[in-house]
Amino acid sequence: MNYDALIIGGGASGLAAACALSRRGRRVALLEKQNRVGRKLLSTGNGRCNLTNLNASAGNYHGSRQAAQAALRAWPPRRVMAFFEELGIPCTADEAGRVYPMSNQAASVLDALRLCCDEQGVDTRINFAVVRLERSGRGFEAVSQEGERVRGRCALVCTGGLAAPKLGASGEGYRLLEALGHGISPRFAAIAPLKTPPEAVRGLKGIRAEGELTLLVDGNDVRREAGEALFAEYGVSGIAAMQLARQAAEALRAGRRCALRLNFVPGEDAAKLLARRAEQLPARKLEDFLNGIVPKRLGQALVKAAGLDLTLAAGELKPGQLKKLADCLGGWTLPVTGTQDFDQAQVTAGGAILKDFDTRSMQSLRTPGLFAAGEVLDVDGDCGGFNLQWAWSSALMAAEGIDAIINGESGNR
């Protein structure tokens, strides 16, 4: 059978495009290399699937902001929500604009997409790893690892990026696009934990503390995030730290110096707070002095970072010592030596370069009839629903582009 569209990759983008095209009556083959579609989707939003964000704007995106802007214009979050409503997934938003399915279950989002594909007759082929995508007459042929061939008029590459290889990311899509004339920009992990010298965080593994995290590049504040710092043996994780990873990775790649400043008492004057406390609890040993403000082990780490002896009593502290401790409580600064790799990242920065695509339709400018969408392209978003918003919106634009080609040709027959 000759399909109207070969969709390579049954993740977020591929499933959305398959639904949209099949609902318009197009014959679609969805080719997925794993033994099930949408595996990564199940893990999104801690199993709740943060599927878009009402406050999405180009500023939430990196790589080609222009492409992100075009996709937001064509498929803004409200239109994406309406798409899901039509599939039977009503959505709700939290105070930060993060949108979730009303069920709070990523599985229900995947089911809705899968059921739509089944109901509309999408030919879903699992265990079909596309190793080659060839031009064939006016269309394309996708070739599987086993040598099976599927033909289609248009092809949409949405094979994702390199993040979370355990969920199937492998990067073959880049090679498919390269073979058809596309450039690929360097890729690195974004939305990933930050690495610090391990001795700086020794003993803090598993400790969580609320605060304000600031990334410093060459001593200047470049981005601030409020939230939880989750300490690990290699550094700092948690959403707030992970949000800083892209800029940290970029700066480190450019040979610049990065540091993470942690303020555990945002909105408070740490010096006044500790001065009051020392007056109130003069006999309290420093090993317990910060108890109640931050977790005990973290409090002790801050005392050590201030160069103070844990056995000193608060009342014995000289003003300079109290200030050092306040500086650590309100601005503990750790060098950032890198970010964790793709296995702990949520998204890939870099990818297929957007100047080779018409960003109104995601059609290749190098190979007509070829489209791409989602993480395989050089767009990545902040944490908070922005990456799935890009995956859906770029895929739904591509579906419209493919539909227009088929429509134009059937009108000419």
> Rounded to the nearest 10 degrees, how much is the dihedral formed by the CA atoms of 215, 337, 331, 198?
150
CA distance 284 to 410: 83
List C-alpha distances in Å: 100 to 77, 160, 168, 193, 378. 12, 21, 23, 24, 25
Selected from 213, 347, 354, 362, the binder of ligand FAD by CB under 6 A is: 347
Tell me: does residue 387 bind ligand FAD (CB under 6 A). yes
Specify the stretch interacting with ligand FAD by CB under 6 A; choose among 161-169, 286-294, 336-344, 355-363.
Answer: 161-169
Residue the block writes with tokens 């099930």: 36
Burial class (CB in 10 A: 0-12, 13-18, 19+), 97: middle
Options 222-230, 316-324, 330-338, 380-388: segment touching ligand FAD (CB under 6 A): 380-388
Which residues are within 8 A (CB) of 405 and not within 5 positions of it... i.e. 6 or more apart? 153, 154, 369
One residue of 4, 225, 356, 375 binding ligand FAD per CB under 6 A: 375
**Whole-number minimum distance, CB 211 to ligand FAD, in Å?**
23
**Which stretch in 60-68, 154-162, 232-240, 262-270 sits in contact with ligand FAD by CB under 6 A?**
154-162
| Stretch binding ligand FAD (CB under 6 A), from 152-160, 179-187, 293-301, 325-333 | 152-160
Contact region with ligand FAD (CB under 6 A), list: 42-50, 249-257, 267-275, 402-410: 42-50
Q: Compute the distance between CA of residue 15 and CA of residue 19 in angstroms, rounded to an integer.
A: 6
Burial of 131 from C-beta contacts in 10 A (0-12 / 13-18 / 19+): middle
Q: Does 192 bind ligand FAD (CB under 6 A)?
A: no
Residue with smallest beta-carbon separation from ligand FAD: 11
- Single out the residue of 164, 180, 308, 406 in contact with ligand FAD (rule: CB under 6 A): 164
First to last CA, the chain: 19
Instruction: Return the residue of 4, 32, 400, 403 that touches ligand FAD, per CB under 6 A.
Output: 32
Whether 386 and 54 have beta carbons less than 8 Å apart is answered as: no
Q: Is residue 50 a contact point for ligand FAD (CB under 6 A)?
A: yes
* 193 contributes a contact to ligand FAD by CB under 6 A: no
Site for ligand FAD, rule CB under 6 A: 8-14, 31-34, 39-40, 43-45, 49-50, 129-130, 158-160, 163-164, 168-170, 172-173, 346-347, 374-376, 385-388, 391
